[in-house]
Amino acid sequence: MWSVLLLAIAVTYFITQPQPLRQERITYPAQPVPRIVLPSPIPIPEKTSEQKIKEGAQIFERLMGESDPFFIGNKYYPPFGIAWLRGIVEANKKGELLITPVTTFPGASSTLMASGYNGQKMEIEISLLKLWGFVNVDYPVTKYDSRVAKHTFMNGMVHEALHLRGQKKEFFDFSENSTDTQRVYEERLKEELRVWPIMIINVIRPLRVVGQPLNNDDIEADGILRGCKDDPSCPLFVEFIKKRFRDPYQK
């Protein structure tokens, strides 16, 4: 009897206890991955030459203001360069030197600035198309320090002033009007080999020493001249100038 009673209790206990749930694997039908189609970017229309010239004129005015040698914010600029920039400003005020923005140059669209004479007056010309391209394509502010454009502009003005003060009017008249293109090239190249070392040693190199940003040409020129121990007749330096130089007036 007792055994029957104990068996009944055990059965009752087993029945009343919660049983573990049976885990069943639920499978879902495969769903297709939706294809997300992104809209095509809206193409940015190429600016017309007229638009580039207009914007280039605005850049010219801005850089002229930023390059003011009397502005205290430019006191870091090498004294040699400041002296020449002040000479440019003063000569311009006296009417002795013209600073003229032009569309481009007939001989070299890659040229930013050129110097010469307009009648009896000295003149520095700045290509608006090249200036636009320099700021928007070559050295855009999205990738480069905006001071690269400013320093290129300032250095270019000093560079052209060195040409104007170092040569007589006859030199520029010959460069612009002679049909002897080989001789013109040789004379202009000789002049570039005279001015570039002056610029490098007195302006470009001091700017690099204090960590100011410069364009690639200026940095490379300084590096090559350093390697040549500041000898402008060094073949490596001469070759650099030859590859870079294009006479802006010879078509």
pLDDT in tens, 38-51: 666 666 678 898 99
| Host H or E run for residue 110 | none
Q: Nearest-5° angle of CA 194, CA 188, CA 69?
A: 55
pLDDT the model gives residue 59: 96
Exposure string of 159-172, with b = 16+ CB inside 10 Å and e = fewer, is: bbbbbbeebeeebb
Read off the pLDDT of residues 215-230 as tens digits, 9 standing for 90 and up: 999 999 999 999 999 9
User: Above 60 in pLDDT, residue 134?
Assistant: yes
User: pLDDT tier at 249 (50, 70, 90 boundaries)?
Assistant: very low
Residue 192's beta-bridge partner residues?
Answer: none
Give the orientation angle of helix 49-66 with respect to helix 147-166, to 10 degrees.
Answer: 80
User: Above 60 in pLDDT, residue 248?
Assistant: no
User: Above 70 in pLDDT, residue 211?
Assistant: yes
Hey, is 199 helix, strand or coil? Answer: helix
pLDDT the model gives residue 19: 56
Range with top average pLDDT, 6-20, 99-113, 130-144? 130-144
| Cα 99 to Cα 126: distance, rounded to the nearest angstrom | 8
pLDDT the model gives residue 2: 46
